[in-house]
Chain A
Amino acid sequence: MHAETDILFRESAAKALLDPHLRANFRRAMDGLITKRKAQFPDPADLQELRHLSTAIRSRSLLNLPALLVQLEAACTRNGIQVHWAETCEQANQLVLDILQAQGATRLVKGKSMVSEEMHLNAFLESHGIEALESDLGEYIIQLDGETPSHIIMPAIHKNKDQIARQFSQKIKDAKYTEDVDELTAMARKVLRQKFLEADAGISGVNFAVANTGTLCLVENEGNGRMSTHVPPLHIAIMGLEKVVARLEDVAPLYAILTRSATGQAVSTYFNLISGPRGEGEKDGPQAVHLVILDNGRSRIYGDPQLQATLRCIRCGACMNHCPVYTRVGGHAYEATYPGPIGKILTPQMEGVGVRHDLLHGSSLCGACGEVCPVEIPIPDILVRLRREATHQDPASFVAGKGTGRTDAEDRAWRLWAALSKRPGLYRILTWFATRFGWALPSGAPLIRDWTRFRTKPIPARRSLSERMRAERGTHD
């Protein structure tokens, strides 16, 4: 049986589908991102070559993952970056808090970091009296409303400018109401520059960590990432343990395919390579840099040769931009840090395939995500694999919550199906009734109801296929 704590995607998705503003906002945004990405890959052969190379680099990095992490730690330490390891989000939160408290830091600016969202770091720090202010414009917008990101690259994509204009005029001191995007941006700039100036510490994510040079690579357009990592006296970077690559040469193709896949840009405004705190003779830059390496279920995913491909992800968001489900329901319906196709395979592996069983079925398996993925993660295949894991107890499997998604109702349904299929006489009688009287079933009947909520009722053909074949054979013989 499903536990009561199960999070039902079908319910939140159904709610989202009824919101015309939300659907319009996502449709417009996703269409824009799809078009821009396409324009960046005019030569399909080039794109495939770059994808194969990127896939190979990420696969090689994962193959050597434990050794690369040790090498990264050594190189960072040599560079003066202090490295910390956390198995769980709780541990990572505590580590960050300890570092901040040791410095007496109470005002924090944050560059965009999905791992910190995974940790619910802001709420944790605020409960300890530390102000954690998001400085990426999109993150800033949603933080003002106490929301979570609805897209991993464009966190405020679910809002339109009227909504943001109203929000700014209510929540920013002395702000007037304007729908002009430049003016709205200028308002945020004014507030946030003061915050950068005053901040005791900055937090960032990591796009790629280079093992041999001990370098943290940050990709961004706004400059808030540079502000957060270079202005305050303390910088804490947080990364999932899969982010490491062997050498800087590996980063060039990944960076090239990341910006093109994510936002349809050939290059981001800033590519910031951080290899240490303020060096000898330097006049700025943080006096201390810390790197927190988070596991949170990743090492378990790593233990399975097929599921390991999940960890190739470079977080570009192309899978969600191209997903027919995501485009219609938006990111919040997933009730997960990572929405969309990658979230559908990552979240159940982190939180358990039982409690997130519903997410595994919120897909038509159309294959678009796998087709656009810059590192060729077979998302549809992994979805199918996890559906099986959710209902089977394979002793060799590492999957979190394996077998706990099995329900009595589903069991009974399959047993009934099997029994019917083994009894042709009974099967024929039932299909005879279904074809003759199926139309009479009310739309509100159980099972039919789930379908007819948003679609017209399916009506069975008047004759079954086998009946028609028998009849045809009769005519031709």
Chain B
Amino acid sequence: MTEARTAILERLSAAPAGGPPPPEDTAVMARRHWPAAERVARLRKGMETVRTEFLEASPSDWPSVVQNFCDHEGIKSLLYGPGNGDAAALAASWDGDATLLPYDRPVEAFKTQLFTEVEAGFTSTVGGIAETGGILLMPGPDEPRLLSLVPPIHIALLRASTIQDSLWSAITNLGWGDSLPPNALLISGPSKTADIEQTLAYGVHGPKRLIVVLVNDLR
């Protein structure tokens, strides 16, 4: 293996130096810029095109919006990350029909239950993407990775003020370019496929529904 590494790097280093690469003009990325209200509308339009559902909420009433949605849909179990501030706030005020399940132990302790019983997962987001539509998640100790993947319904809380113009600007503004946690995600809709005759089908492996609770915190 060390020999393979040495041999490969030697061959690559021995290659004749090519000319300088063409100049890089990033204007096409940088010019994607919209006012805050338009960013919200663009994100929504982009995500609705791929069947994401939106619930509108205010900075104070969003927990009850989540609760009403779960009651209305007859959701019986909602998994959340108790270490996350938003999720903890939701749990503190919860009075809904669904049982709240804290994701507070290693997945190995309840993998089968996670795959077969849990109906919905709640997560926060660290931002959104206006250009194409999409939400940014940074799973970690407080909000495990599978919260947004395994339950058939994923409910994500998004504050309008955190919506970035583009992935390009998000990488810069969120400081992702310097270091990243073990997992970071961009999600634009529920799981989908077009592998059979290019016919779109939703809910192939991941969530069948993505619900974005959009908090209007723009002044």
Q: Contact residues of A with B, CB < 8 Å?
A: 25, 28-29, 32-33, 46, 49-50, 52-53, 55-57, 59-60, 62-63, 65-66, 69-70, 79, 84-87, 91, 95, 135-138, 141, 154-157, 159-161, 164, 181-182, 184-186, 188-189, 192-194, 196-197, 212-213, 215, 221-224, 226-227, 230-231, 233, 241, 247-249, 251-253, 255-256, 263, 266-285, 293, 295, 299-300, 302-303, 305, 308
Contact = CB atoms under 8 A, between A and B. Distances in A.
A45 to B, nearest CB: 9
A436 B144 CA distance: 82
18 contacts: A29-B197, A50-B28, A53-B26, A63-B18, A87-B4, A137-B196, A154-B194, A154-B195, A185-B203, A213-B178, A227-B206, A249-B172, A277-B182, A282-B182, A283-B103, A285-B183, A302-B11, A305-B16
Given A63-B21, A141-B195, A252 B144 contact: no
A59 B192 contact: no
A53 B29 contact: yes
A27 to B, nearest CB: 12
B15 A303 contact: yes
Given A84-B1, A213-B179, A295-B8, 4 more contacts: A66-B9, A266-B131, A282-B139, A285-B182
Given A87-B4, A303-B15, A249 B171 contact: yes
B196 A252 contact: no
Contacts of A193: 115, 205
Nearest to A293: B8
Given A160-B197, A279-B182, A267 B22 contact: no
B12 A284 contact: no
B205 A248 contact: no
Given A53-B29, A56-B24, A267-B186, A185 B4 contact: no
Contacts of B26: 53, 253
Tell me the interface secondary structure of chain B in the complex: loop
B35 interface: no
Contacts of A303: 11, 14-16
Given A87-B8, A283-B106, A273 B205 contact: no
Contacts of B196: 137, 141, 156, 159, 161, 164, 181, 184-185
Contacts of A155: 195
Nearest to A189: B204
A156 B180 contact: no
Contacts, number: 275
A284 B21 contact: no
A284 B144 contact: yes
A21 B105 CA distance: 52
A266 B207 contact: no
Given A87-B8, A270-B206, A181 B197 contact: yes
Contacts of B115: 193-194, 196-197
B190 interface: yes
B128 to A, nearest CB: 12
B33 interface: no
A65 B141 contact: no
Nearest to B141: A281
A46 B31 CA distance: 11
A70 B204 contact: no
